[in-house]
A and B are shown apart, each in its own frame.
Chain A
Amino acid sequence: MRHLSTILVTLYAGLIYLFIFLPVVVLVLFSFQDGSLPVPPLNGLTLRWYEAIFADGKLMAALGNSLLVALISSAVACVLGFLAAYAFARYTLPASGLLRGLIVAPMTVSTLIIGLGLLSILNITGMRLSLVTVGIGHVVINLPLCFAIIYASMGGHQVNIERAARDLGAKDWQVMLLVTAPMLLPSILAAFFLSVTFSWDEFIVAFLLSRFDVTLPVEIWSMLRSGLDPKTNAIGSVVFLISVAFLVVMEFTVFRKTGKSS
């Protein structure tokens, strides 16, 4: 009886993981397809689709754009999120509960609506669509996340440490830069890397707010319109690999930091 339940639980867990990872495995597997259709049967293994994507200037430019937008917009979101969290945690603000709610509210709004709203604002202001506008969109999406993560890690025990810094002559900006931010580094890094992976994958806002220079998801989408091709599998695998790399870096840095500090 006990034996049977162990088998069932193992089977169940196996199915869950299969369900989650099968699409990725298929995607990666058929990126090596020796043939022009990324569907079974697997004819043989080849790296030529990878050669093709790395030789594709448009695709590589989009990849560069994506990295640039992800890194810069995440950095901006983290700085803004940190400043907002600092204000809410250290000062008594009027209606602070309401204001805090409003900052995180965009997390619950669909990116489609945020994208459309930004698009109409940009139209009104006459600002041209570019990677900058995509970056702005990503800041809007990621700021609530960065704020929430950083705010959650700001506790009362750091107040006395900041007080000590002030007592020793530090000005407000020195307290923030030399004491508060380094103390919160694990959560700031977590916010940054999470935000990078979101921005890296983000399609809707990037699609709505870009024109000539596009990010990788938008470029992949336009490739898909011309039909299935193992090349899309190959670039998809690269996207997946880079996402995983960011997550690993985050796990490593954040885990290492929090593991060390007492």
Chain B
Amino acid sequence: MTADVSIRNATKVFGSFRALDDVSLDIAAGEFIVLLGPSGCGKTTLLSILGGFIEPTSGTISIGGEDMTHVSPAKRPTTTMFQDYALFPHMCLRDNVGFGLRMRGMGKAERFEKAFSYLDLVGLRASSAKKPHELSGGQRQRVALARALAVDPHVLLLDEPLGALDLKLRRQMQDELKAIQKRVGTTFVHVTHDQEEAMAIADRIVVMNKGRIEDVGTPASIYMRPRSLFSAGFMGEANFLPATVRGTSGSEAQVETTLGRVALPASAFVSGSPAVGKDVTLCIRPEHFRNANADVPTVSLGRGRITGSAFFGTHHRCHVAAGDTVLTAHLPQTDNPEAGAELDLRLKADSIVVLQDGAGV
């Protein structure tokens, strides 16, 4: 089952700390949403409010059109998958997965059958008589997922469930989570501080910082067209270049940077149309400093000198000095950048994003 979620002006204050500051968000039924942000950004608080473990200081939560703001966790159509799995250590997997059904008064035979089918879903049917301590971390993870899904929640809340797993297993579990979500169709709200994980699984990512939403969108739109400095910096690496708008003409704008004056398309200005005299910040992804094809409009920031580089497998990560500015550039793995070499800082005009200082969503 699945349901949409609507959060309206949710605010949570702990003493003098605003953990959540006037957050509004609409989640469509069946969507896989990832709340992304550093620790203390309010993502877990928002998840706890959705699960009913804490009540918002103000604002409302509705799930499937029904107001849930003051409903207890047990009575919500949500279940939570906890970071430490929180499996019942004294019960076998079958009883763990069947627990929620037992609480709903379902008879033994039916309950066991359903528990088995959910253990099947996560590939652990053969271990149904085992206790949680006999399992590996990844398997416990799957049991926690099966247990949370067994009661047919409309919305599944996942609180950094992959945090304790090693990288390889985490990648594998990301794929599995995504596949299972597609199969069951339940709305998933997943909390993480790992931007790669967010990109791997999310339909839409919600970037949070200091209790507020910074950016909402698909992984590609958040990476390519971030709408705030924080969002641009948190989702991968970015160069920030301060600039001032000097003039606008039709679909172009002239901006003055420390590396010279450049003409940018108006579409680069994601947070409002350019106004002359305004201070803005150019956001440039390091991998965009690659020789652009001549048949697309390019922008040149002059030339820079490579001061150091390291090989990362997929690319060379180089520090480039241009005047007093130090930029980071990712050059193709086939290149052989050497310290002291010159680099033409030319990039596609539409790969630059211009953010107005202090802009949020």
A56-78 CB mask vs B (1 if < 8 Å, else 0) is 00000000000000000000000
In the assembled complex, B183 has its CB within 8 A of some CB on chain A: no
A-B contact count (CB 8 A): 67
Q: Which of A161, A174, A260 has the most chain B CB atoms inside 10 A of its CB?
A: A161
Assuming the A-B contacts A169-B74, A169-B103, A170-B103, are A163 and B86 also in contact, with contact meaning beta carbons closer than 8 angstroms in the complex?
A: yes
Which chain B residues border A261 with CB–CB below 8 Å?
Answer: 89-90, 133
- In the complex, the chain A residue whose C-beta lies closest to that of B84 is A160
In the assembled complex, B87 has its CB within 8 A of some CB on chain A: yes
Instruction: State the Cβ distance, A44 to closest chain B Cβ, in Å.
Output: 54
In the assembled complex, A157 has its CB within 8 A of some CB on chain B: yes
Which chain B residues border A160 with CB–CB below 8 Å?
Answer: 82-84, 86
In the assembled complex, B282 has its CB within 8 A of some CB on chain A: no
- In the complex, the chain A residue whose C-beta lies closest to that of B51 is A167
Which chain B residues border A179 with CB–CB below 8 Å?
Answer: 88
A178 vs B73: C-alpha distance when bound (angstroms): 18
In the assembled complex, B118 has its CB within 8 A of some CB on chain A: no
A3 vs B235: C-alpha distance when bound (angstroms): 70
Instruction: State the Cβ distance, B79 to closest chain A Cβ, in Å.
Output: 6
Interface size class of A (residues with CB under 8 A): 20 to 34
Whether B90 contacts A167 by the Cβ 8 Å rule is: no
Whether B100 contacts A183 by the Cβ 8 Å rule is: no
How many chain B residues have a CB neighbour from A under 8 Å? 25
Which chain B residues border A117 with CB–CB below 8 Å?
Answer: none
In the assembled complex, A166 has its CB within 8 A of some CB on chain B: yes
Instruction: State the Cβ distance, B349 to closest chain A Cβ, in Å.
Output: 51
Whether B88 contacts A169 by the Cβ 8 Å rule is: no
Which chain B residues border A107 with CB–CB below 8 Å?
Answer: none
In the assembled complex, B327 has its CB within 8 A of some CB on chain A: no
A171 vs B73: C-alpha distance when bound (angstroms): 11
Which chain A residues border B72 with CB–CB below 8 Å?
Answer: 166
- In the complex, the chain A residue whose C-beta lies closest to that of B75 is A169
In the assembled complex, B151 has its CB within 8 A of some CB on chain A: yes
In the assembled complex, A241 has its CB within 8 A of some CB on chain B: no
Whether A163 contacts B82 by the Cβ 8 Å rule is: yes
Whether B103 contacts A163 by the Cβ 8 Å rule is: no
Whether B90 contacts A183 by the Cβ 8 Å rule is: yes
Whether A169 contacts B90 by the Cβ 8 Å rule is: no
Within residues 165 to 195 of chain A, which ones have a CB less than 8 A from any CB in chain B?
165-171, 174, 178-179, 182-183, 185
Which chain B residues border A183 with CB–CB below 8 Å?
Answer: 88-90
Contact of B147 among A157, A166, A168, A182 (CB under 8 A): A168
Contact of A161 among B80, B87, B104 (CB under 8 A): B87
A260 vs B91: C-alpha distance when bound (angstroms): 13
Which chain A residues border B311 with CB–CB below 8 Å?
Answer: none
A261 vs B133: C-alpha distance when bound (angstroms): 7
Which chain A residues border B80 with CB–CB below 8 Å?
Answer: 163-164, 167
Ranked nearest first, the 6 interchain pairs of A and B with the lowest CB-CB distance are A168-B100, A262-B133, A169-B103, A164-B86, A160-B86, A182-B90
